[in-house]
Every structure is written in C-alpha cells, then in structure tokens.
Chains A and B, each alone.
Chain A
Amino acid sequence: AQSVTQLGSHVSVSEGALVLLRCNYSSSVPPYLFWYVQYPNQGLQLLLKYTSAATLVKGINGFEAEFKKSETSFHLTKPSAHMSDAAEYFCAVSDNKNFGNEKLTFGTGTRLTIIP
C-alpha cells in the first residue's frame, strides 16, 4: 500500500525566505508524485508532478521539487516566499499502472503561513 508523510502540519516562513515543505512517500512500485495547493475557498490546484522523467521538477509560481529515490522524498521548495504563497499544500502519490489514471493517496497537508 502507498502512503505519504508530510512533516509539519504548520510551517511559517518570513516573506523572502526559503520555503521548504517536506514529503516522504512509501510505494511498492515506481510512483508518480504530486504537489497540490489549496488556497482559501478554492479547490486543489496542481503545482507540479513527477512522472519518472527528470528528477528535478519545476512547477507554477516558482515552486520546484526534487525526487530522491534513495531517500523516498519529494520535498517542495521555493527560494523566496511571497505573501500570496500562504495556503495549504498537499503531497500525493499514485502508482503508474494506468498512465496516471489511478487514485491519489494524499498526505495530511501542510499549512504555510508567510510572516510579513
């Protein structure tokens, strides 16, 4: 069975500082990995996804994540936080048996607060 662990349910960073949100996964098959973001009163929006191509994945809004198989990690980073980054972030995993059309297994989410 697949699982995702997100360390830190709440993370606060100062505006302009590095954002690092941690995600570790467990999967018995080569996984697909995703980061979604949920802004207040909105649905989940895909930030980026890893699908076995390049291990460093660039997403929207300046975010990127690196797939590290040896560490079973897929941490999300952004060099400089902006006030508009305040949201809840979800890491998710799926297996690749059906070209991505499989259920997602999510972590518990990390709420990011940006300090002015």
Chain B
Amino acid sequence: EAGVTQFPSHSVIEKGQTVTLRCDPISGHDNLYWYRRVMGKEIKFLLHFVKESKQDESGMPNNRFLAERTGGTYSTLKVQPAELEDSGVYFCASSQEGLATFTDTQYFGPGTRLTVL
C-alpha cells in the first residue's frame, strides 16, 4: 500500500511568488493534516481536513495560505504571495476515521522543503 506522498520534494522561490504544495494521502483515509517545521523549531499544526471539509484551521498563519481538498482525496496548500518566513518543511499526514475504542495513527509524508529567497 502506498504511503502519503508529497510533491514537490523541494521548492525554491523568490519572495512574492506563488507556490502550491500537493499531498496525496493514503487511500481511504478521511483525515488529512498539514504541519510545518520552520528551521530549528518544533513541527507545528496548520490545519485538518475530514474528507473535503476543514475541521480545524486554527494553525494557519495568515490569509496568504490557502488549503483545499478536492473531493476528499488529495490536498493542496497554496502560499500567495510567499514571504521569507514561510521557508521550512511542510509535512502532510493522514489517518483513518477513529472509532469509539480505537485510536488511529497519523501517517506522515516525507515533506516538502520550501525555501523563499
């Protein structure tokens, strides 16, 4: 079974440009999460989709970030316009829907390293 995939693996852009990151979750996983790690700091939550709906977007830093999840499958995270402080590694994770007595695991992708110059 394929794991969580992310594209691209690396992206280098200039300040003011637009970048779109893509995440393909594990097939059948309703939950999809985006996280970000800025250099040397902790991995921080950005948002959580359940199918195509945003369950929690409390971690989105500002309105330059737009996340979508088309048809409850893959997700994109667009940064427009990019700023220097947006540099970091963006991780995507997915999990199945939890049941009353079952706790599922978030499976992470390899991340996209974004560098804004």
CA distance A26 to B87 in the complex (A): 28
Interface string of A35-51 (1 = CB under 8 A from B): 01000011111100101
User: B109 on the interface (CB 8 Å rule)?
Assistant: yes
B45 touches A107 (CB 8 A): no
Which of chain A's residues have a CB closer than 8 A to the CB of B41? 108
Which one of A15-23, A68-76, A97-105 contacts B?
A: A97-105
User: B104 on the interface (CB 8 Å rule)?
Assistant: yes
Partner of B98, one of A43, A90, A99, A105: A99
Which of chain A's residues have a CB closer than 8 A to the CB of B106? 46, 104
**Smallest CB–CB gap between B58 and chain A, Å?**
8
B108 touches A109 (CB 8 A): no
Across the A-B interface, how many residue pairs have beta carbons closer than 8 Å?
A: 68
Interface residues on A, range: 20 to 34
Find residues 97-113 in chain B having any chain A CB closer than 8 Å to their own CB: 97-100, 102-111
User: B4 on the interface (CB 8 Å rule)?
Assistant: yes
CA distance A103 to B111 in the complex (A): 17
User: A32 on the interface (CB 8 Å rule)?
Assistant: yes
Given the interface pairs A43-B3, A43-B110, the reply to whether A103 lies near B48 with Cβ below 8 Å is: yes
- Give the total of B residues in contact with A, Cβ under 8 Å: 32
User: A106 on the interface (CB 8 Å rule)?
Assistant: yes
Closest residue of chain B to A100 (Cβ to Cβ) is B103
**Smallest CB–CB gap between A10 and chain B, Å?**
12
B103 touches A36 (CB 8 A): no
User: B1 on the interface (CB 8 Å rule)?
Assistant: no
Partner of B108, one of A45, A49, A98: A45
Given the interface pairs A108-B42, A109-B42, the reply to whether A42 lies near B110 with Cβ below 8 Å is: yes
Which of chain A's residues have a CB closer than 8 A to the CB of B95? 100-101
CA distance A32 to B95 in the complex (A): 15
Closest residue of chain A to B30 (Cβ to Cβ) is A101
**Which 9 A-B residue pairings sit nearest by Cβ, starting from the closest?**
A99-B98, A100-B103, A44-B108, A103-B45, A106-B43, A43-B108, A43-B110, A51-B103, A108-B42
Can you give 7 A-B contacts (C-beta < 8 A)?
A99-B98, A99-B99, A100-B104, A100-B105, A101-B31, A101-B104, A102-B48
